[in-house]
């Protein structure tokens, strides 16, 4: 059992609630950190004025694309641009399956792209699979040396 944290970047509170519930239903005890938008996400990862960065980097980031202020692609870009977070697994979790978004996502270095189904049962199942894979099966990149 991995103790890795999950960073969920999602602006829709309903979706947040449902995702948390889904994760809980599969007895995943991993801590889930929620960022309501891109700015918060970046602050959590890199720190910002008046807010230190997360102590431990998450094991996986579940990233929505349609975010206010800074959108998902930009966040991804920043994540990949930083030495600290370059290898962090990022799963794009979004409603869109526009080809453009898929291509952009992979181009910017996302590890995976999952479309959120409307059907909650399906959604729960998808979340479970994501969790299983990224937290248990996937070997996380080594934590970078803290400055």
Partner 1 sequence: MPLRDRPIQQKLTAILLLISGLVLLLTATAFAGYQYWSMRRTMRDMLAVRGRVMAANSTAALAFADVTHAREVLSALRADPHVLAAALYDQDGRLFATYPADLPVTAVPATPGPDGYAFARGRLAGFQAVAEAHGPRLGTLYTASDLDAIYDTFRLSGMIGAAVLAVSLLTAYFLSAALQRAISAPILALADTARAVSGRRDYSVRAPPAGRDEVGVLTDAFNQMIEELQRHATELEQRVAERTRELEARAAELLAANTELDAFAYSVSHDLRAPLRSIDGFSQVLLEDYAERLDDAGRDALNRVRAASQRMGTLIDDLLKLARISRAEMRTELVDVSAMARDIATELQRAAPERQVEFAISPGLKARGDAPLLRVALENLLRNSWKYTGKAARPRIEVGLVEANGGRAFMVRDNGAGFDMQYANKLFGVFQRLHSADEFEGTGVGLATVYRIISRHGGRIWAEGAVDQGATFYFTL
Residue from 44, 59, 65, 79 touching partner 1 (CB under 8 A): that is 65
Number of other residues whose CB lies within 10 A of the CB of residue 137:
8
Task: Closer to partner 1 by CB, 35 or 88: give it.
Answer: 35
Question: Which segments within the chain are labelled E, that is strand?
Answer: 6-9, 32-35, 60-63, 90-94, 112-115
When asked if residue 31 is in the footprint of partner 1 (CB under 8 A), the reply is no
Question: What residues from 77 to 116 belong to the interface with partner 1 (CB under 8 A)?
Answer: 94-98, 116
Distances (CA, A) of 93 to 8, 78, 84: 9, 17, 22
55 contributes a contact to partner 1 by CB under 8 A: no
Residue 119 touching partner 1 (CB under 8 A): yes
Distances (CA, A) of 131 to 104, 106, 137: 24, 20, 9
Residue 68, token pair as written in the block = 């206010």
Among 56, 120, 129, 132, binds partner 1 (CB under 8 A): 120
Using CB under 8 A, list all residues that contact partner 1.
Answer: 12, 14-15, 17-18, 21, 65-66, 94-98, 116-121, 123
């Amino acid at each position: 059992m991995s103790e890795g944290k999950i960073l969920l970047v999602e602006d829709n509170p309903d979706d947040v609630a449902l995702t948390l519930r889904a994760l809980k239903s599969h007895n995943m005890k991993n801590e889930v950190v929620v960022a309501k938008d891109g700015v918060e996400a970046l602050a959590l990862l890199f720190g910002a004025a008046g807010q230190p960065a997360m102590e431990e980097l998450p094991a996986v980031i579940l990233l929505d694309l349609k975010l206010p202020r800074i959108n998902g692609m930009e966040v991804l870009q920043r994540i990949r641009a930083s030495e600290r977070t370059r290898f962090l697994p990022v799963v794009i979790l979004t409603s869109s399956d526009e080809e453009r978004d898929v291509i952009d996502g992979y181009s910017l270095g996302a590890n995976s792209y999952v479309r959120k189904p409307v059907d909650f049962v399906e959604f729960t199942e998808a979340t479970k699979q994501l969790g299983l894979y990224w937290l248990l099966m996937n070997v996380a990149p080594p934590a970078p040396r803290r400055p």
